[in-house]
Amino acid sequence: MKQLFSSLHQYYEEMISIRRYLHENPELSFHEVHTPAFIANYHRKLGLEVRERVGGRGVVATIRGSRPGKTVALRADFDALAIQEENDLPYKSKVDGVMHACGHDGHTATLLVLAKVLTEMRDQLQGNVVLIHQFAEEVAPGGAKPMIDDGCLEGVDIIFGTHLWAPTPLGDILVRNGAIMAAADRFEITIQGKGGHGAEPHHSVDAIVIASQFVTQLQNIVSRRLDPLKSAVISVGHFEAINPFNVIADKVELKGTVRTFDKEVQGLIEKEIELLLKSVCEGSHATYEYSFKRGYPPVVNHKKATQFIADIACNVPEVKNVIECPPFMIGEDFSYYLERVPGTFFITGAKNPNWEVAYPHHHARFNFDERAMLVAAKTLGMATLNYLNTSK
């Protein structure tokens, strides 16, 4: 592994440069144009086989080893978020209202430079490496499924992915066998009442009061309808009634998310939301519209692949701790890859030890310690080399 490590250190400044260029030039999910072109051009300069527009806007590059063998896939996402950056950085986003606030710029830079190093080492590869650069992870239906449908996993024996994680200290690697991230679903509700004068509520059906009652009672589904040994989250993130201050609202729009790990729990919550909504509205003489949109399934890691990564990470010099973590309620469409082939998705700690505050992902002041990219590249690189050169 000396060559892998020394080469990654040699190209570390390039990794930083790529990450900062991407950070300055973010693109929203399903609107990525320049980012996939940049990625494809980088791989072509390495002399790799490159497919563009995979599943829509994805890029897939392949490193073919000098000898036949297994095929490892490595995945990085490259879309940004609709957030106005508040960081005062020399590489601050140049795009108004768009920001890399989740580390995808770092994921891409990590994989590009790792591809460069593995290409230089291909005479040592017994098998192939497929580099999956995925668009639109942040917005369902996401980019993973259409890329899979377009053949990005053809011939792949195992897949590895990682997420740079700002709340977790630099030097920590988090792994988990089984479900590590939740199914992420979305619901949308319109409650229709009858508007009227604010001084005469008895002539109206107040949609705001009805919606408020519904939101308050919604949490009873988790606390009273669900087995307490099973996990779920229901959150209303959007509550809107566009109305003057002295007019009783005739309509309220609600939007929210449901996070679960279990299909039965997922189905139960979908039904219970409507049962509650129906009873609240009928009891208040209102009507409603309800839609429940299933998003990404849970990310369920495979046991052997997870243990394999845990063992590899223990031998990365910069890794201080390999920790079995509890599951996260966040969603990730890496789940679709793991439904098709064995693999694992792990967390690479990216919190600078000198930072008093590590802003969370999707925050306007999000950032991460760039040294985490080197840790991720070493872990993924070691895993690739060990798997290809020891598998039969």
Supply the residues annotated as catalytic: 79, 137
ω into residue 326 within 30 of 0, thus cis? Answer: no
b/e code 63-98 from CB counts within 10 Å (16+ = b):
bebeeebbbbbbbbbbbbbebebebeeebebeeeeb
- For 182-250, strand residue ranges (E) read 183-192, 196-197, 232-240, 247-248
Pairing label, strands 343-351, 158-169: parallel
Spatial CB neighbours of 51, under 8 Å, sequence gap ≥ 6? 59, 60, 61
Give the end-to-end CA distance of the chain in Å, rounded to a whole number. Answer: 20
Asked if residue 285 belongs to a known ligand binding site, the reply is no
The candidate with the shortest Cα–Cα distance to 379, out of 345, 352, 338, is 345
Cα dihedral angle (316, 100, 257, 296), rounded to 10 degrees? -60
Asked if residue 163 belongs to a known ligand binding site, the reply is yes
Spatial CB neighbours of 260, under 8 Å, sequence gap ≥ 6? 182, 183, 185, 231, 232, 233, 266, 269, 298
Asked if residue 361 belongs to a known ligand binding site, the reply is no
The candidate with the shortest Cα–Cα distance to 186, out of 81, 253, 240, 259, is 259
Q: Please give the C-alpha separations between residue 39 and each of 131, 267, 268, 332, in angstroms, as whole numbers.
A: 11, 40, 43, 22
Asked if residue 49 belongs to a known ligand binding site, the reply is no
The candidate with the shortest Cα–Cα distance to 179, out of 302, 26, 27, 94, is 302
Asked if residue 14 belongs to a known ligand binding site, the reply is no
Binding site as annotated, residues for Mn(2+): 102, 104, 138, 163, 362
